[in-house]
Amino acid sequence: MDVPTTSERSPLGPKAGGEAGGEAGGRAALTDAARLDAVRVDGAAREAPRGRSAESRAQLVRSARVLLRRRLRFARRVRGVRVGGKRRPVANLAWRGRLSARRRLVLSTELALLFFAFPISLVALQGAGVPVPTIPALLIVTLLSWGILLFDPGFPRRELSNWRVPRGELIRVLGLFAVGAAALVGLTQFLRPGELFSLPRSQPGLWLAILVFYPLLSVYPQELVWRVFFVHRYARLLRSQWLAVVLSALAFGFVHLLYGSWFSVGLSTMGGVLFGITYLRTRSIGLVCLEHSLYGCWLFTVGLHEYFYRGF
């Protein structure tokens, strides 16, 4: 008995049977593809939270970087903010807080004793015939001021060794010194016509020693005490850094009573204002020491040393 073939069993003939077989194979292929797609979709669904989390972290990092860049640009641009209806420099915001009555009393007493009562006592000792070594007395005050600054958590210690010299400020300092040097020559010629450049001519060894040791033993301690320490310590008490500069200049001139001349007091007060402005503009103790050394060494050179020197 013969077994019928597929084409023979199909009522539509050989062609219809081939088409039916192709359709069945296509359905099987589509089923397999659907199963593969389902597996892929399921795997993607399982991996999706992890991918979204990584993408979220990356987006957060990018946003943080953008915010940081914006804040840095803002910090470079801003020069002041409006507080209480007035525009105040950002650098002065640290002094807005009010001191307690007890703290104000302590700081006021400290200022009066250290910068006015102590020099008066030294002048009184001189008047009584007791020799007062000025450099050791200055070093004692310097060590006291340095210790207070080191233990002050609000003081930026980099200001104790800030030797950065801005070019524009250096040009300004040198220009002012050129004018001041010419004025001091004229003043010496008017007050002491026979003493012009007398120290380099008569005692060149002493003059050279002063040029070397004066900036180290005198200028830096003075600027540390009357500029860095005074402005930082008492600006909040006086509620103004500019007022602190003016008062520090007065105290700086007052201590020169030790040399027994009101001329040295007046000239030192003018220098204190000049050095205080430079410090407030730059916060560079290096530039202030350079400016102070230029004027001080020129005073000794030009012939006004008798008003500022009585030995060490």
Are 160 and 246 found together in one domain?
yes
pLDDT digits (tens, 9 = 90+) for 254-307: 999 988 889 999 999 999 999 999 999 999 999 999 999 999 999 999 999 888
pLDDT classification of 308: cutoffs 50, 70, 90: confident
8 A C-beta contact, residue 241 and residue 235: yes
pLDDT of residue 88: 53
pLDDT of residue 91: 45
pLDDT of residue 93: 46
Residue 86 inside a domain? The answer is no
pLDDT of residue 99: 84
Residue 273 inside a domain? The answer is yes
Are 144 and 262 found together in one domain?
yes
Residue 49 inside a domain? The answer is yes
pLDDT at 1 over 80: no
Are 142 and 238 found together in one domain?
yes
pLDDT at 35 over 60: no
pLDDT of residue 133: 86
Domain span including residue 221: 99-307
Are 177 and 138 found together in one domain?
yes
Are 68 and 105 found together in one domain?
no
Are 155 and 266 found together in one domain?
yes
Are 27 and 156 found together in one domain?
no
Are 105 and 45 found together in one domain?
no
Summarize the confidence of residues 8-34 as an average pLDDT: 47
**Total number of domains constituting the chain:** 2
Are 302 and 193 found together in one domain?
yes
Report the amino acid identity of residue 59. Q
Summarize the confidence of residues 107-131 as an average pLDDT: 93
Are 71 and 141 found together in one domain?
no
pLDDT at 33 over 80: no
* Higher pLDDT pick, 21 / 59: 59
Residue 87 inside a domain? The answer is no
8 A C-beta contact, residue 270 and residue 295: no
Residue 88 inside a domain? The answer is no
pLDDT of residue 167: 93
Average pLDDT, the chain: 80
Residue 92 inside a domain? The answer is no
pLDDT digits (tens, 9 = 90+) for 231-251: 999 998 998 889 999 999 999
Residue 59 inside a domain? The answer is yes
Summarize the confidence of residues 72-100 as an average pLDDT: 54
pLDDT at 13 over 80: no
Are 23 and 170 found together in one domain?
no
8 A C-beta contact, residue 281 and residue 231: no
DSSP the chain: -PPP-HHHHSTTHHHHHHHHHHHHHHHHHHHHHHHHHHHHHHHHHHHHHHHHHHHHHHHHHHHHHHHHHHHHHHHHH--EEEETTEEEEGGGGGG-SPPPHHHHHHHHHHHHIIIIIHHHHHHHHHHTT----HHHHHHHHHHHHHHHHHT-TTS-GGGGG-----HHHHHHHHHHHHHHHHHHHHHHHHH-GGGTTHHHHH-HHHHHHHHHHHIIIIIHHHHIIIIIIHHHHHHHHHT-HHHHHHHHHHHHHHGGGGGT-HHHHHHHHHHHHHHHHHHHHH--HHHHHHHHHHHHHHHHHHT-GGGT-S--
pLDDT of residue 32: 53
pLDDT at 140 over 60: yes
Are 42 and 111 found together in one domain?
no
pLDDT at 191 over 80: yes
8 A C-beta contact, residue 252 and residue 169: no
Residue 151 inside a domain? The answer is yes
